[in-house]
Structure 1
């Protein structure tokens, strides 16, 4: 093991995450934490690690961006034909992790996944910059390509195809919603005695159970 890496350490001293002063549902707390992260983490507050599982039970993880959330779940957008899209089609479950180092906070989410309503995908697609809209047509995400020139040629082709007309959302591109059954909040504390609160849903429509976990 690289000794320089092995010696890397950080002392945590975050605000307390008290069981009695947190809400019965995780979503108000997540909203509060995300708002604080937007103020402190600059451009990366909505970045999250998304983990999926393929048909061989092999996990895969990558960074994606949270684009919305409510009591139903957490929403992100991607190519349905990508590796993660095919993995979610075969195993519609996922885990996501948010890490906000300035605040010394982490949030873990686990749940089932569904495609969002077409109207919601349409609205979000219309809000994207035109170059990003074209990118959804240009990139056959996760497919092996011969090189950069291939992308540039496809970009020129679709720029011509949509010249002076609105860019339509491709049918293969849209949103997913992670419907959580577990959400865990982690707050860094001194001496590695961190605060951890886990919210677990009793069923799809029931209330949340809240538990204080050992660090």
Structure 2
């Protein structure tokens, strides 16, 4: 069975390779990367034995995802114009302060695994939903431009499959905190696929170039 998380990482790497090749972020936005960074960090904390027992798989998978998101953000930062860099760094700084506050607050303020799981799990549900909802900004752009140029089909498909797999994982050994955001992710992934097929036909094909007419030769 193919792991959808691995596919998603491959797609993300391809997307960032395009940015490196063009040396320009064009219309790509860092919102999904920033949302995923925060989401992965919280899930790593949730999966640690100090918060939730028997969830080390959640911590290791999201730990890998966290490192990959750091690479993505680094590439975006390297090729983004200064205004976008400043905005991205400001959001990232707020996220890091928030994560540190959550870790300190939970460790010092909650004394049982049940309380820690409830607090961190609730945050994971909220920010996990935001992570899956981050592409809504791209979906809005698709509807405005009637073009799916910046919403790759493969990424939408893998996000949909990822949601299905993690929802199934959560239902086998029921975990409400994993079920809710991934169930939402499944629905949003499906919405992206529907939107893709609605606007695929109206997307300009940049690979087709019109022939240049030599008006001087035509006049002769």
TM-score, normalised via structure 2 length: 0.24
Structure with bigger strand share is 1
Using structure 1 for the length normalisation, give the TM-score.
0.24
**Larger fraction in helix:** 2
